[in-house]
Amino acid sequence: MTSIGALFTVTALQCALLALHAPALAVGGAAVLAGFAFSFGTVIWDTALQQTIAPEKLARVSAYNWIGAMAFLPLGYAIAGPITQVIGTSTSLWIGVVWVVVTTLIVIAVPDVRNLRLAALAPERTELAQAAAAS
C-alpha cells in the first residue's frame, strides 16, 4: 500500500502550481493527475476494506471512514477564506502542499498500512458469473 499511499501526494501538485502562478494548462494537467490519483487510490482503499473487514462490519467501518474524512470539511471551508486573507493565497496553498505530503507520509509510515497487501483475485468464476454464463 506504500505506492498507492504515495500516489496521494500527487494531489499536492496542483496547489504547488497554483502557488507558483503556473499556466492554466499546467494546473489543469495537475488537476487531472490529482483526480486520477484520488480516484485510483480510493478504489484500492475500498477494495482493501472489503478484503480485510468482515462483511457484517463493513457498512459500519465504511460509515466511520466517511465521517472521519468529512467531519472537519465544513470547518476547513469556513476558516480557509479568513486565514487566506491574513497569510495570503500563496502561503495558504504551500501549507496545503506540505499538509498533503506530510500527512500522507505519516500514514504510509505506519507498518500495518505500509505492509498491507491486497489478495489476488481468485481465478475461479463466482456463482453469479457461472449462473450468467449458463443462461
pLDDT in tens, 84-126: 999 999 999 999 999 999 999 998 899 988 888 888 766 555 6
What average pLDDT is seen over the chain? Answer: 88
The C-alpha cell at 87 is 497569510
Helix ranges, the chain (H): 2-7, 13-19, 24-52, 55-70, 73-87, 89-109, 111-114, 127-134
Estimate the crossing angle of helix 73-87 against helix 89-109, to 10 degrees.
130
Segments of the chain assigned E as strands: none
Phi, psi dihedral angles at 87 (to 5 degrees): -100, -10
User: Is 19 within a domain?
Assistant: yes
Query: Mean pLDDT over residues 72-76, rounded?
Result: 93
Average the pLDDT over 13-41 and give the result. Answer: 95
Which range of residues forms the domain containing residue 29? 2-116
Instruction: Tell me the average pLDDT across 30-53.
Output: 91
Residues 5-25: pLDDT tens digits?
Answer: 788 899 999 999 999 999 999
Query: Does 125 reside within a domain?
Result: no
CB-CB contact of 97 with 12 (8 Å): yes
Within-domain flag for 78: yes
The pLDDT assigned to 86 comes to 97
pLDDT at 115 (0 to 100):
85
54-63, 77-86, 108-117: the lowest-pLDDT one:
108-117
User: Rounded to a whole number, what is the largest CA-CA distance in the chain?
Assistant: 66
Q: Is residue 71 part of a domain?
A: yes
Please report the pLDDT score of residue 74 as a whole number: 95
Q: Residue 47: which of 126, 101, 120, 112 has the closest Cα?
A: 120
Is 134 domain-assigned? no
Q: Is residue 14 part of a domain?
A: yes
Are the C-beta atoms of 14 and 93 separated by less than 8 Å? no
Indicate the number of domains in the chain: 1
Q: With respect to residue 131, please indicate whether it lies within any of the assigned structural domains.
A: no
